[in-house]
Structure 1
């Protein structure tokens, strides 16, 4: 988050982490040019969990009176597949980014 925070500050914006809402907490809110960008982050745990995260974000957005936002999923599987998806759920546009996170196995030394 430190790298993202540095970037957000450099462009004159603000980042808020784990913001309380009427329906729980939002992972990340970035305000830029008087606009609010809501970002939900998850770790890949399968298709069902992935779709549930999108529905969760759509509920947050309706409460916050927003119509489009971002869903970032970190995929730690053995052979992760990057994806970019755009989906409309209950009138809300979700921009989804599945980001492969490939980590080398620790050595036995």
Structure 2
């Protein structure tokens, strides 16, 4: 998030742990040049935990009436598989980056 401030400076805003009306908390929302980006951040704790994160992000996208969201997964395993992939959950597109 440290890198976001100079990028969106004067052109947008970002919100950390923003609360929705149904009392859920999104990790990060970025409003930039008239668009909204919802970002979910997770520490890798296995496939089941990751899938719950994808479902969680999908529900946030539904709440904000968006079709595309972003998930950033931090994987500290020695044999991790890093990269970016696009997945579909229900009718939403999730861009997931594993670092």
Aligned position for 1:13: 12
Aligned position for 2:63: 63
Task: Work out the CA distance in 2 between the residues paired with 1:96 and 1:52.
Answer: 13
- TM-score, L = length of structure 1: 0.82
Gaps of 5+ in 1: 100-109
- TM-score, L = length of structure 2: 0.90
Secondary structure in 2 matching 1:61: helix
Gaps of 5+ in 2: none
Task: Work out the CA distance in 2 between the residues paired with 1:33 and 1:2.
Answer: 19
Is the alpha carbon distance of 1:17 and 1:63 closer, same or farther for their aligned partners in structure 2, counting shifts above 3 Å?
A: same
Q: Tell me which moved more, 65-74 or 80-89.
A: 80-89
Task: Work out the CA distance in 2 between the residues paired with 1:89 and 1:65.
Answer: 14
Name the count of aligned residue pairs.
98
- Between structure 1 and structure 2, the one with the greater Rg is 1
Is the alpha carbon distance of 1:19 and 1:58 closer, same or farther for their aligned partners in structure 2, counting shifts above 3 Å?
A: same
After TM superposition, the structure 1 = structure 2 runs for residues 32-47 of structure 1, keeping only pairs within 5 Å, are: 32-47=32-47
CA RMSD of aligned residues (A): 1.4
